[in-house]
Amino acid sequence: MFSSKNMKLLTNPLGDSNPITVQVLGICSALAVTAKLKPAFVMAISVLVVMTLSNVIISLLRKTIPNRIRIIVQLVVIATLVILVDEVLRAFVYDVSKQLSVFVGLIITNCIIMGRLEAFALANKPWDSFLDGLGNAFGYGWILIVVAFFRELLGSGTVWGYPVLDKIGLYDIGYENNGLMILSPMALIVVGIIIWIQRSRNKDLIESN
Amino acid sequence: MNRSNLYTFMYASVMVIIVAALLSLAATGLKPLQDKNEEIAKKLDILNTVGLGMEVGEADSKNVYVEAEFDKFITESFVVNAKGERVDGIDAFTINLTKENAKEVDKRTLPVYVCTHENGAQNYIFPVLGKGLWGPIWGYVALNDDFVSIAGVVFDHKGETPGLGAEINTPPFQDQFIDKKIFDSSGKFVSIQVNKIGIPVTESSVDAITGGTITSKSLEEMLYDCLSVYESFINKQK
Amino acid sequence: MENLINIFVKGAFIENMILAYFLGMCSYLAVSKTVKTSMGLGFAVIFVLLITIPVNFLIENYILQEGALSWISPKLAEVDLGFLSFILFIAVIASIVQLTEMIIEKISPTLYNALGIFLPLIAVNCAILGGALFMQERAYNNIGEAISFAMGSGFGWLLAVVGLAAIREKIRYSNVPPALRGLGITFIIVGLMGIAFMSFMGIKL
């Protein structure tokens, strides 16, 4: 069940084939929600749920899906799961769902999910697809959470709403929050820096100019 | 795999039926919880207008806290019509302002909330709703029991990315409204003007948002439209 | 009229789809290598937005919203189909893209050659669905405002993609640190473009 091949499915997307930093997929719906850790975390969980479930469902149905309407079937499965997630969020974490607003809906067009369904789930067994979905969702989620962590810490001086910098007395010696970090373009620059670090460590990933 | 048209068609139909059933089930099942959340948010807005319910962050359970505060301070809520007469049989809380605003003025039903403070002072709270440039804006206006001066306001709009959008929901802007008068000295209804910075502030006007002319103007219109319909009611109370 | 221009300006510059919300990033990064292809995709996005947003606007206002069905029968005034909006919007987008592709192929082979390869890409472009969802969230009053919003956001998208492509064409001759080449530097450039566009935020309408 956890053969070395399966473990690769789970661990590869965390590093060398990370959906965001290497495959450049699914940036659209995600980065605008990374100004604070909490919405980023909820977003990561939502993507995780939609991704693994849709991978498993499509993989179970893979022998029955007529080829001609395959894209529509995938979209319907994803959209249904996203609506369910949205309804649950609105029922149980109302504040966060208000902050995420349209971005939950945009999970539907998250290219990672469509990409994994097309490239993996349509041709593999449910358990493998489950692991693949889980791995890619984690690969996506950790980038989101790292970006949100730095933006919240440097931009608002808090971590998960807790005023860390205030407690250690940084403001008393003249430190100021960097308001620029809250603005959305900084999310891209932080991802750019993550890519820089990752590629400096793994020379194989370097592109030609 | 290529299959016959019939198979494809059947497949699509079955899929649509399953999905529709699943979604309707979830939507109806979770509706009570979602409505509850919206109700709590609304009650909290009403409380905030008169400076209550501020300790919501420290409460163990937000819902319990808001409900308790609301029941304690909002002692009465009722519905009036544009002539200022009470209308019986309608719960003020269930009124949908979007629908009311679409009606003719004399057919509208207008909710009023009465807040009684611990020292016995009373505030009358009126909901307002209007169009901003970027979608709806809404809020609540509370009057003191002289029915002339404002005790407090809350405004909001749908938020997207922080930093973008109008700043009508910030305390510096909203605090300007406190003690402003919606009637002039002769008792004529004047609402509150939202003027460009630089124009001298009177007892019935406030400064606009920096550089936000259009949003400020739509806010002014909203206040005029939504408060003027209460004029007869207010005059009867004085 | 003034209102329509305001909505256009706001959609194109102040709340640019890409630079403020990152919508449509995947295809944005993929096609922004040369100015010519980016122009093609940019026009395709405007084209599709201009069709899908008004259609979705009608669906939202006459089918989905609470009470929207009352034009069929007053008994249906209480029905709220809002929970179906995601699935209906994406279905409309996918089918309209498919339909447009077929129509363009029949009517104008030249236009098809220019836009054709981009159309399938667009069905899953977040900017299109994002446009529909923003339209729903912002509750425009009439179809004119929705069209103006579609024009504005589409134009903003075109502007951003052509701008980035122009920069990337030039940056090929620069000496970028090896690990930053390609994707890394592109992300940082888009970030800087976003900051530059933020100066439009000073225009508060």
> Comparing C-alpha atoms, which of B227, B235, B225 is closest to residue B112?
B227
pLDDT of residue B147: 82
Helix axes C35-59, C143-171, angle to 10 degrees: 160
Contact C3 B23 (CB under 8 A): no
* Cβ-nearest to C86 among A31, A72, A108: A108
Please report, rounded to a whole number, the percentage of residues in chain C having pLDDT higher than 90. 14
Residues of chain B contacting A65 with CB distance shorter than 8 Å: 1, 11
Q: What's the helix, strand, coil split of chain A in %, to 5?
A: 75, 0, 25
Are the C-beta atoms of A179 and A156 separated by less than 8 Å? no
Mean pLDDT of C88-92: 87
ipTM of the complex in this document: 0.80
Q: What is the pLDDT of residues B156-199, one digit of tens each?
A: 876 544 444 456 777 778 888 888 888 888 878 888 888 877 77
Query: How many C-beta atoms surround the C-beta of residue B159 within 10 A?
Result: 12
Residues of chain B contacting C202 with CB distance shorter than 8 Å: 211
Nearest CA in chain C to B131: C141
Alpha carbon distance C80, B132 (integer Å): 24
**Residue C22, phi then psi, degrees to nearest 5:** 60, 35
User: Lowest mean pLDDT: which of A52-66, B25-39, C30-44?
Assistant: C30-44
Mean pLDDT of chain A: 83
**Residue B96, phi then psi, degrees to nearest 5:** -100, 110
Nearest CA in chain B to A33: B161
Q: Which residues face B154 on adjacent strands?
A: B140
What distance, in Å, lies between the first and last C-alpha atoms of chain A? 41
User: What tokens were used for B22?
Assistant: 């699943």
- For residue C173, the one-letter residue type is Y
Burial class (CB in 10 A: 0-12, 13-18, 19+), C79: middle
Contact A188 C83 (CB under 8 A): no
* Cβ-nearest to B164 among C67, C139, C201: C201
Residues of chain C contacting A87 with CB distance shorter than 8 Å: 83
Q: To the nearest whole angstrom, how far is the Cα of B163 from the nearest Cα of chain A?
A: 7
| Chain A interface, best mutation among C52, C97, C124, by max A CB count within 10 A | C124
Residues of chain A contacting C184 with CB distance shorter than 8 Å: 192, 195-196, 199
Residue entry with tokens 């519905």? B79
pLDDT of residue C149: 92
**Structure pTM?**
0.81
DSSP of C119-156, one letter per residue?
A: HHHHHT-HHHHHHHHHHHHHT-SSHHHHHHHHHHHHHH
Burial class (CB in 10 A: 0-12, 13-18, 19+), A90: buried
Query: Contact partners of B by the rule of 3+ C-beta pairs under 8 A?
Result: A, C
Secondary structure element (H or E) that encloses residue B143, with its range = strand B135-143
Q: Which of 27-46 (C) contact A at CB < 8 A?
A: 29-30
Q: What is the pLDDT of residues C108-119, one digit of tens each?
A: 787 777 666 667
User: What tokens were used for B141?
Assistant: 């206006």
Q: How confident is the model at residue B3 (pLDDT cuts 50, 70, 90)?
A: low
Query: How many C-beta atoms surround the C-beta of residue A62 within 10 A?
Result: 18
Nearest CA in chain A to C94: A72
User: What tokens were used for C128?
Assistant: 């299109």
Residue A206 per-residue DSSP state: P
Residue B189 per-residue DSSP state: B
Contact A90 B30 (CB under 8 A): yes
DSSP of C48-71, one letter per residue?
A: HHHHHHHHHHHHIIIIISTTGGGG
Q: A with B: how many residue pairs have Cβ under 8 Å apart?
A: 66
Contact A67 B2 (CB under 8 A): yes
Taking 70 as the threshold, does the pLDDT of residue B210 lie above it?
no
* Cβ-nearest to A28 among C20, C22, C197: C22
Residue C22 per-residue DSSP state: -
Are the C-beta atoms of A26 and A112 separated by less than 8 Å? yes
Residues with pLDDT less than 70, chain A: 1-2, 28-30, 101, 208-209
Contact B133 C10 (CB under 8 A): yes
| pLDDT: which is higher, B34 or B101 | B34
Contact A28 C126 (CB under 8 A): yes
Are the C-beta atoms of A85 and B30 separated by less than 8 Å? no
Q: What is the pLDDT of residues B215-234, one digit of tens each?
A: 778 888 888 888 888 888 88
pLDDT of residue C53: 92
| Chain C interface, best mutation among A43, A74, A102, A178, by max C CB count within 10 A | A102
Q: A with C: how many residue pairs have Cβ under 8 Å apart?
A: 145
Q: Provide the sign of the torsion angle of the four alpha carbons C1, C4, C6, C8, taken in this order.
A: negative
Residue C184 in contact with partner chain A when CB distance is under 8 A? yes
Residue A185 in contact with partner chain C when CB distance is under 8 A? yes
pLDDT of residue B161: 45
Query: How many C-beta atoms surround the C-beta of residue A178 within 10 A?
Result: 15
Strands B193-195 and B135-143 turn out to be unpaired
Contact B23 C83 (CB under 8 A): yes
Q: What is the pLDDT of residues B50-97, one digit of tens each?
A: 888 777 777 777 788 888 888 888 888 888 888 878 887 777 777 777
Alpha carbon distance B145, C96 (integer Å): 58
pLDDT of residue A53: 94
> Comparing C-alpha atoms, which of B161, B101, B135 is closest to residue B214?
B135
| pLDDT: which is higher, B3 or B45 | B45
Alpha carbon distance B220, B218 (integer Å): 5
Alpha carbon distance B153, A151 (integer Å): 32
Contact B23 C204 (CB under 8 A): no
DSSP of B26-62, one letter per residue?
A: HHHHHHHHHHHHHHHHHHHHHHHHTT--GGGGG-S-H
Are the C-beta atoms of B123 and B50 separated by less than 8 Å? yes
Q: To the nearest whole angstrom, how far is the Cα of A208 from the nearest Cα of chain C?
A: 7
Contact C134 A105 (CB under 8 A): no
Q: What is the pLDDT of residues B123-146, one digit of tens each?
A: 888 888 887 766 678 889 888 888
Residue A209 in contact with partner chain C when CB distance is under 8 A? yes
Most confident segment among B97-101, C9-13, C50-54, C195-199: C50-54
Query: Contact partners of A by the rule of 3+ C-beta pairs under 8 A?
Result: B, C
Nearest CA in chain A to C177: A196
